[in-house]
Structure 1
Amino acid sequence: MSKRGSDFLYHWISDHLQDAPISDPVLMVIDMAVDAKRAAQTQGIPGQEIDEEIGAMFQVLMQELREEGHSGT
């Protein structure tokens, strides 16, 4: 992953992660991944620059949600 892609993804997630209760964390993570990739492409960052990192970052989000009791199960 490029530094540009990593920086973009980090800031995008920080700006778009909701504070409201999460009814379906899996769907939220999927939607955020799709939206982040589209936003990156809109800013001229090819998807492959964030593909590698996007999975890792969203795995961390899912782990944090599980620890907070938002597992959806």
Structure 2
Amino acid sequence: MSARGLKFLDNWMAQQLPIVARGDPIAASDLADQLMTAAEKAGIRADEINGEVASVFEVIFEAMRRRKRTG
């Protein structure tokens, strides 16, 4: 994953994860699709995001699962 791709992934997830249910695989799948669409619109190639990870879905789902509950 390029430094630019990693920064985009990190920032995007920080904005999106707080608004989804914790550990929801359907939401994770939707977010993976949304992430790749947002990256493309930002001029970031898919290989810059998923070049070093086996699955963008797995990265998002694991981040959702590990996210601390608020409130």
Matches within 5 A, 1:1-73: 1-19=1-19, 22=21, 25-51=24-50, 52-53=52-53, 54-55=56-57, 57-64=59-66
What are structure 2's unaligned runs of at least 5 residues? none
Please list the CA deviations of residues 14-63 of structure 1 after superposition, one character each: whole Å capped at 9, or x if unmatched. Answer: 0111346x287000100111100100000000011112343552242254
RMSD of aligned Cα (Å)? 2.6
Q: TM-score, normalising length from structure 2? A: 0.72
Aligned pair count reads 66
What are structure 1's unaligned runs of at least 5 residues? 69-73
